Amino acid sequence: MEIASLENQTIAEFVLLGFYDIPELHFLFFIVFTVVYAFIVIGNMLIIVVVISSQRLHMPMYFFLANLSFLEILYTSTVVPKMLEGFLQEAAISVTDCLIQFFIFGSLATAECFLLAVMAYDRFLAI
């Protein structure tokens, strides 16, 4: 009976195998998620441009809405580009890059929660 060696091994990168078994769907998912990502970015940019360009919308509610749209662009841009890269090629992400991506995603999620709380308080004061 052999005893397995229990040496310390460091993992430098890893691959999440979500749709690894079905390569036919990779390009389809790439197209679908690219279109959804484009709609998210274009829609939020449109909100920002309308709020900035219209003088009638220079009120706190619309200011916070434009900031929420900006946060949403940043929020989706932290994860989706790397995910799209993974659909086209077998891309691995290093542990450091994953932690950086997770930190940015978490920071933006926290900022979004604070912004939503401020927006709720603004609506409370407006009533």
Look at the alpha carbons of 7, 12, 18, 22 in this order and tell me if their dihedral is positive or negative.
negative
Q: In angstroms, how far is CA 26 from the centroid of its own chain?
A: 20
pLDDT of residue 39: 98
pLDDT in tens, the chain (127 residues): 556 666 777 776 666 666 666 777 888 889 999 999 999 999 999 999 999 999 999 998 999 999 999 999 999 999 999 888 888 887 778 888 889 999 999 999 999 999 999 999 988 888 7
pLDDT of residue 14: 62
pLDDT of residue 111: 96
- Domain positions in the chain are 25-126
Provide the token pair at 2.
């052999």
pLDDT of residue 89: 82
Question: One-letter amino acid identity for 109?
Answer: A
Look at the alpha carbons of 85, 90, 94, 99 in this order and tell me if their dihedral is positive or negative.
positive
* Non-local CB neighbours of 99 within 8 Å, separated by 6+ positions: none
pLDDT of residue 49: 97
